[in-house]
Structure 1
Amino acid sequence: MADMVSTLAWPRITGIVSDLDGVVYRGKNAIEDAVEAFKAWQAERIPFCFVTNNSTHTAGDVVSKLRGFGLEAGEENVVTSAVTAAKMIRQTYPAGTRTYVIGAPSLKKAITDAELEITDKQPCVVVMGLDREITYEKLTIAVDAILKGAVLIGTNPDLLLPTQTGFEPGAGACLTAVSAAARVKPIIVGKPEVHMIEAALSQLGTDRASTLMIGDQIPTDIQAGKRAGLCSVLVTTGVPPIDDPSLLAPDFTVSSLKQIFLKR
């Protein structure tokens, strides 16, 4: 693994794709070094786009949160797993497709905005995101629908989410339970898949060879970045790294985003 503070090994960077939870903030609290780093990159006119597996917030929610930390951003700077999931469903299924949703209001909004029908009656698709009001009944409806032929789609496989006091179960925890019970492999929308990374690259208009991917989780953020061909940086302000030799390693590991040296 490359030295974390080496200024010799850093590639030329023209754009940044970054995770949010555990990178820019933990729960409701900003990670000050990260906010300062993004402000500095913004002053240098380096474009960035945030990609979040968290489906509990709309792009507008994220923008409001970032502005509350003093970081200016627009909705065009945010790609969410909720909207990406809805777009992916519509690529295969027509308007009005019956869809059962386990998730926050933001995920349900994305589904209805895509002209899909939310119902628990004979759904063709089951979409699962983070649901802090999860019940056994919801899990039962999902499993039953899948066993009767519905497709299972997960916004992300994250097992843990960083909070201001520690960690909480992520969407992947319940997704794993449903997929195990129904004995199916879910279609994953968010990281480690590259769908959101590709959307961010399209938004940025930068070449992937000179675009940096920043994240705090090796199984999701780093794998997505590496699969998309981006130089990938692990920042240790979020979920603790796991030791899994089967996973692609980050190109750099830093404890603060201020350690990232951007050559133009």
Structure 2
Amino acid sequence: MRVLYLGDIVGRSGRALVLEKLPELREKLKLDLVVVNGENAAAGFGITRKICDQLLEGGVDVITTGNHIWDQKETVQFISQEKRLIRPINFPKGTPGIGAGIYEAGRGRTALIINVMGRIFMDPLDDPFAAVEEELGRHRLGQTVNFILVDIHCEATSEKQAMGHFCDGRVSFVVGSHSHVPTADAHILEGGTAYQTDAGMCGDYNSVIGMEKEEPLQRFTRKIATGRFSPAMGEGTLCGVFVETDDRSGLAKRIEPVRLGAHLHGAFPEL
């Protein structure tokens, strides 16, 4: 299978770029599945029904999220009906929505997508490792599903790396989100799982993690909040990760970063 994961979409700049580039990406990379993190898609905070529909209609197959999932009040109302939008699996039982799902991919394949949130410097949710273990106990890579992706949304690099090794050999791909800066460690782990600590963001990199610079700088230098954070509206850069897996085992054969846009050095897989 050929899968593209795109990092956190931040505001209008990120949305516009993803919707513009995705048809071309699907064709050039011959993609079977596209997963994006959409938790910052609505003005940098959460996701609305309208934006969710735009992304799904624009060629996205599954939308993962994170700690900003409930920033838009309407999300609570529609997330239980839209199974292609998932929230971290380790929210307490009874939380609306689902944290994992099985989705149809190209050529009759199936993919299990798991979204989980870390706990270091984040909200103290249920144990992310136990939650992922429970979900993996229901499925077997290469037998019940053809592909398994784990999006670990968290702050600490160590926690993301630990999740990669925890899942190694049992899933196709573990990728980190939330930090908004792409890491340079895309590789295949010993057991055959593709891994990258953070995919980066889809948004304007002339910013502070996607936000206009003035307010973050004010808070860092003077410790005074003078306004709200607003997404930077300049030219966006698309950041993500491309993974190709073995058809029989579901383990990774290839992982490469994808970067298209104004501010970062470009990267694009050659088929």
Shared fold (TM-score, shorter chain, > 0.5): no
Normalized per residue, the structure richer in helix is 1
Normalized per residue, the structure richer in strand is 2
Superposition TM-score tier, normalisation by shorter sequence: 0.3 to 0.5
TM-score, reference length from structure 2: 0.35
TM-score, reference length from structure 1: 0.36
Q: Which has the larger radius of gyration?
A: 1
